Amino acid sequence: MKNLTIIDHPLIRRDLSVLRNRRTDNHLFRTTLRRVASVMAFHVTSDLALTTERVATPLETTTGYVLRDDIVIVPVLRAGLGLVDGFLDFLPDARVGHIGLYRNEKTLEPVEYYSKFPRSLGKSLVLLLDPMLATGGSGSAAIAFLKQKGATKIRFVTLLAAPEGVRRVASRHPDVRIFSCVVDRKLNARGYIVPGLGDAGDRIFGTE
Ligand code: PRP
Ligand code: URA
């Protein structure tokens, strides 16, 4: 799929195995997810444009660089929160918006319950964060919502995807690049990614 970039790295494969393991407790799950998010942030931003500025070192003046685009990070509540700090480690000046969505477990359709965004979304590069891309309902709805609020440059960052979800987001939003660490085999009858890692929000917050 041409919209999809797989972030593959030995440290991510190791940490994904920790996240998949049913015996991993909530604390280890959170710290591992945060570490993976930092590595993902490094890759998702690898082609960002820079502008130059003059920097005075203690010895002389030289060329320095700043990111050209203003960055806005938008986690999808709840599970996207688990990725935020890892991204802020590398993007300390980013502003943070929030979208609250949960999936109706019967219809599998997303239900929106909260949103708050920084100003001038249209001028920013928006990094939408959600560790799970299953049916793609939540991701597609979150992207549509961001566009409605004026966002024009959006990247969707997920840890673990199902093929069905990647196809749905890519067909509804062909302008949005999707980054994922892995695409798993399929969705099961209840819309869970298999082999997957279970319910990400529950594992982050201990609500299983
Ligand atoms: C999870 C996950 C995504 C969504 C993915 O959230 O964080 O937002 O499911 O599923 P989809 O691609 O089929 O829409 P959930 O609805 O479990 O809410 P939570 O994060 O509050 O637990
Ligand atoms: N949401 C999750 O947290 N996990 C899945 O496998 C599917 C949706």
Cβ of residue 161 lying under 6 Å from some atom of ligand 1: no
Cα torsion angle, 38, 43, 47, 52, sign: positive
- Position 2 scores a pLDDT of 80
Q: Which mutation among 33, 111, 186, 193 tests ligand 2's pocket best, with the greatest number of atoms within 8 A of CB?
A: 193
> Whose C-alpha lies nearest to ligand 2, atom 7?
192
Single out the residue of 192, 18, 198 nearest to residue 108, CA to CA.
Answer: 192
- Position 103 scores a pLDDT of 85
Show Cβ contacts of residue 47 under 8 Å, excluding neighbours closer than 6 positions: none
Hey, what's the torsion of the CAs at 192, 134, 82, 120, to 10 degrees? Answer: -160
Please confirm, yes or no, whether 130 is among the known catalytic residues: no
DSSP 8-class letter at 195: S
Angle, helices 81-90 vs 26-44, to 10°: value is 50
Please confirm, yes or no, whether 199 is among the known catalytic residues: yes
- Where in the chain are the domains? 4-205
Distance of CA 62 to the CA centre of its chain: 35
> Whose C-alpha lies nearest to ligand 1, atom 10?
134
User: Which residue of the set 35, 103, 168, 203 is catalytic?
Assistant: 103
User: For domain 4-205, which architecture applies?
Assistant: 3-Layer(aba) Sandwich (3.40)
Q: Which mutation among 199, 203, 204, 207 tests ligand 2's pocket best, with the greatest number of atoms within 8 A of CB?
A: 199
Q: What is the pLDDT along the chain (208 residues), one digit of tens a residue?
A: 789 999 999 999 999 999 999 999 999 999 999 999 999 999 999 999 999 999 999 999 999 999 999 999 999 999 999 999 999 999 999 999 999 998 898 898 899 999 999 998 999 999 999 999 999 999 999 999 999 999 999 999 999 999 999 999 999 999 999 999 999 999 999 999 999 999 999 999 999 9
- Position 188 scores a pLDDT of 97
